[in-house]
Structure 1
Amino acid sequence: MSLIAALIGGIALATVLTLYIEQSTTQLNLTNATAQAYYCGGTSSYTLWQVYATSGITMLISTVNCSFNSTPLYFTSMDGSNNQWFAGGYTAIYSPATVSFRVYARALTNWTYMDMLNNSQLYQWNINWFGISN
């Protein structure tokens, strides 16, 4: 009886593994790029932050030097010497174009917009970014 249970369990396991491998292969095949991607990136200085109304700060990031032929997908992160974990929203991309895009940062604490601007300057909150297009 235990031999039959082991065989049935083995068949079930083999079926699950086969389905997983087929699914992984299918997903992998769907994500293969068919054209060479073009990418460009940089770091935009903390000195570019400006007050945005009373809700936070904003930065317009120029990508003119990248010479994108079409609007790329942009991705961002923030670096600095301290307190950048109190900021949120800067990974959301606004007004993407071939020559620029905009990010906004808001306080995740009870900071005012002036606190945000002061901290961005004091702790040098640069925006690291890259764009990728085909």
Structure 2
Amino acid sequence: MENKIHVMKHVLELSQTMGEALEHIKAQVNEGQEANTIELANDTMSAFASIIQSMGTFLGDLPKNKIEEYTNILLKSFDVLATTYEQQQGVKTLEVLQFNVLPAYKKWKEELENQLQRYVVS
């Protein structure tokens, strides 16, 4: 279980960094700098993919929760975001960030923290 707790801590840390990146992306897109955020958006989506993979090591050990449901919602939001980047739709990208990605991220992060805090608090 000690290894799983280590993974949980890293998932929480990476999820926090992911949120900071999303806020930065939103600010940059809001300033019309969408092109400057593509690499960071890709890195953020890659981080999320890594988190999903890592969560597989402990999700089955947790009590009933909504982590998987919220993970799927956030994954779909990232798919929509990727499409707006591909189509270079700056205004649409901002809308997707504000109304899809960030709210989905916040719900997912809150559920993740609620479920993992009992294990990682020393």
Q: Which structure dedicates a bigger proportion of its chain to helix? A: 2
| TM-score (ref. length: structure 1) | 0.28
- Quick check: which has more Rg, 1 or 2? 1
| TM-score (ref. length: structure 2) | 0.30
Q: Which structure dedicates a bigger proportion of its chain to strand? A: 1
